[in-house]
Structure 1
Amino acid sequence: LLKISGEIIANVMARWEADQAQQSKVAELSVLQSLSMVMTEANSVEELLVGSLTILGETFYTHNSGIALVDEEAGILRAIHKDFEGRIMTEKFPPGDGIVGRVVETGKSVRVEDVSKDPDFVEVFEDIKSEMCVPIISAEKVIGCINIESRTLGAYSQRDQDLVEIFSRQLATGIEKIRLFEQVQELAIRDSLTELYNRRHFFELAEAEFAKATRYGTPLSVIMMDVDDFKAVNDSYGHGLGDHMLMAVGEVFRKGLRISDIAGRYGGDEFVVMLTGSDIQAAKLLSERLDKMTRNLQVAGTRGTVSITFSQGIAILDETCHNLDILLDHADQALLVAKRTRTGQLLVWGEDVYEDS
């Protein structure tokens, strides 16, 4: 009888373990299927992260779920959270800060059954009792981590951790795919030398801003800029130094312009900047600032060192500008007269240069 009872118990336990394994497999497939759908539909890393947080919250009934990614350029971690009420929040913090920072530094998962006993725990949300944090690893490099928190002690099991680690591997693939796609898109719209917008994309953006300014009657101005004596520099110092000059100009523009300004390489050594919401005085001030920034540059090559100066032409949207081409042509005409007069000069269409100039 005891032998039979033992066999029955063993069979029951075996079935229970098989059922648990089957349930885990079903849960794993369900989570990965949901993530796959989010990865397919997401157009940005942020969309992917928000969708992933929704899946994590629904799967583990978290009071807070978060994903932090390493921002190597800024030297910080950028995190996005979703609480149990569905509110989205963002934060940034130094590497190594909190349990999240520890996981990013070590690349190892952590389950904390009672956060009050972990000296690294940083309270962001009230009444959190337990936490689980799993690294996101791509190409053997930690790029971030998944963090979920509960108001219940010991809320997460080893099985939960295993599932989040599988989720993390899939998420890493999704993040890298989107980043690669964004890089390819960025390369398609940027000039490879200056990293400013290429001519085609500048026109796409400029046409939209021209239409907006025309419709709402807001100020719009354009600066055309040409590097003085660029051909002579190439002939005397070599094309390598000429390339470095253009790269330096691109860096000045990226640092000196507002986010709303549109800068592009128009062709060769000629550049164009569209200033949204800016009248002629604002355009002059920006032009002078860029000129000052470039004059302070010394570009060195194997045959010597040169300074950079610009000739510039400015035009503002007025009643004669029936389309974008006319506005750009006005700025270009002012630039041509400036170059003929003397180097490093700024002329304004309608003030210094007219139709018959």
Structure 2
Amino acid sequence: MKVPLTSSIAGLNESATLAINIRAREIRAQGGSVCHFGFGQSPFPVPLSIQNALRDHAAVKDYLPTLGLPELREAVARFYQQEMNSPFSAEHVCIGPGSKELIFQALFLLEAAVLIPAPSWVSYGPQAQLLGKPVYTLPTRREHHYRLQADVLEQICQQLDDTPKLLIINSPNNPTGAVYGEDDLSALAEVCRKFGIIVLSDEIYAMIDFTGQSHQSMAHAYPEGTIVTGGLSKSFAAGGYRLGVMLIPDPLRALTKALQTVASETFSTVSAPVQYAALEAYGHFDTVRSFINQTVEIHRSVAEYVHTRFIGMGLNCPEPQGAFYMMPDFQNYRASLAKKGITSDEALCHALLGEAHIALLPGSSFYLGPLTLLSG
């Protein structure tokens, strides 16, 4: 029987991160071992207090409010006020089944062209494509640590004229490990105000920051136009719990109402036991602060070691400032790789997984050219 699939799925494949994860599992199931660097999952356990809260509320079976448990929304707002210095209250907080789903809902609800600095996380573009939204990738440069520059943003805005625009900023960044500083964000905010751009600031890695500086958010520089997303997946090591948060400022409150309407017709609400686990995470952050600080220090030490080894091998690679990632450039090995028939980033990643059981992701999955030989 012919299956009448929607045309928006044409050309889309499974997320590169999930696909490489499946292949790595297959190799392991066959008795092989894999050094798996292709999936952004914390290697640490969920803090025990959060595990206990999930267990203690396993019997809670009722549907909770669509935008989230009121106590949780209050705890999230308090967390962002105290830990992130971000100006949000409980009414600004929306709880969803992962920040990935909340980003998808925002893309669905906002009638705007989507501006994505490249390289970027693998799913922003496909989500926009599924929704039929125009996507514009904005170039960044290695000497700027792949951070979007204000003049580049202004140039694309001038080209798009009066088209409504949504800019996605991710800091600390997947896949580069870059962290936007106060000056970076202030310059971008000036352009955003000039052109009336809405910003979606993906801050899922906000606490995994190696710079030693206080957290910098686009919501500080551009509070009236910035939506912030976060969740349990990275800092709290609870990716499988699937709980995300979205914080929407007063001038964009129409989005909150629209999200409530659409959520009520789609996912309804987030699992009740998971919301109570999140209440423990956000409401009693002091309980897990030491745990998170220790895990961040381990991430920093590993990143520093691997970066040093990469540089020693002759690879160009910006030093990661946060998150789980770094992005080595194999251009210096182009000639020797070509002799082995490896002439693209995807070919390199397939060879590394097939021959050495090392799982990496190709730079082309992050909106870089397939011949750049960059791997995230």
TM-score range, shorter chain: under 0.3
The alignment's TM-score, normalised by the length of structure 2, stands at 0.23
Q: Which structure dedicates a bigger proportion of its chain to strand? A: 1
Structure with larger Rg: 1
> Which structure ranks higher in relative contact order (CA pairs < 8 Å, sequence separation ≥ 6)?
2
